[in-house]
Structure 1
Amino acid sequence: MKVSADLKAFQARIGYEFSQPDLLVRALTHGSISSPTRGDNQRLEFLGDRVLGLVMAEALLDHDKGASEGLLAPRFNALVRKEACADVARQIDLGVVLKLGRSEMMSGGRRKQALLGDAMEAVIAAVYRDGGFEVAQALILRLWGDRVTKVEDDARDAKTALQEWAQARGQKPPTYVQLSRSGPDHAPVFTIAARLQDGTEAQSSAGAKRQAEQAAAAALLAQLEQNA
């Protein structure tokens, strides 16, 4: 198939040229524009998540040969979670080449964390299917760069950190309440409130409940630190 100029530029940014460019097109196609003859990137996203996980697990083991599982697990989570994937996607301007339906484009889909993170995983899978594991591994390590060596030893997600904050002060674990759900089925937006036993709370929105909960927990932690 003929490769467009923007896809050629994207391949140059990631440092890999596809022998099967249709795999790249599939990886960049969101469900909002899919059809019976044009598949979306969900299946590749599923595979890319696993490839990324294996590469990062091995990289962490090689980087710190004496680290316990208790230290490795939060570091791993920090490197493979959707937020990290979205950060890398922004680094390579992945949003510019995303193939989206009109409604998704109108709602700022090229900047949405969930869409960018999913597409990044799909691109990883496309590289894996096109060039094999070693090629995908090299690409991941190149794009993630020093994130592996600089990930904090006590890297914890915001929900875990908030729970530990509450427990240290004799409070019950925080609760997460869905305040609203908006948007179309293929691109929902969830608004979640993170609440502490004393009534303190913070809200945030994201394209998935888990991400909205994490964002709300992070917002509440920031609020608590500011008030301390």
Structure 2
Amino acid sequence: MIEVLVVDDDYHVAHAHALAVGRVEGYRVVGEAHTGAEAERLVGDLAPDLVLLDMYLPDFTGLDLVRRLAASGRPVPDFLLVTAARDLESVRTAMQLGAFYYLVKPFTFAALREQLEAYRAWAERLGRAPAGEDELDQDVVDALYTLRGTPPRRATTVRGLQPTMARVLEIVTEAPSPVGAAEVAQILGASRPTAQRYLASLVKKQLIDLDLSYGSTGRPEHRYLPRRR
């Protein structure tokens, strides 16, 4: 079982990521952190295999966290950046510090799952190295680099949608019951009007359905659910 620490300054986003990780076979979330200092402490206490790491934390950056862990002399877990930071310098630095991959928010569950599955295959391949042997032959090295370099399916390929709209579609599709714009906005990390705009577009594209329910005030409440076949 691969143990994961989820680090994000937004409590709702961290919880959503933790739920997503928990849905992938072979993974278990052992903790959530919302600051760099909290993450640094939990890495020491929990010794996770992998850290799902946001770049923007209130006290220092995710990459600073990796540097601090490396400077401490303690084992540094592998880490997967999941962040809105998309500048070249951040990506380059993450690569230099050994990030397994770099997912730009917003992304779909499918994109995250693919990277987690690639990481699991990579970790299992490392674990099958012969005990007591510190040297690997070229075939093994090539296999490890191939697994680590697995490219994600970009969210833009999901039904031809751009990433945020694809994420909204995923939220509605995977919800256990019809959801409203406020719920979608909370999970998405966006404003309610923004979520409402994407939801209306998905209804217009006939990818989701609109359900009107009437509450005690007699006013209709807009709820959204997967497209009825």
TM range, smaller chain? under 0.3
TM-score (norm 2): 0.24
TM-score (norm 1): 0.24
Higher share of residues assigned helix: 1
Higher share of residues assigned strand: 2
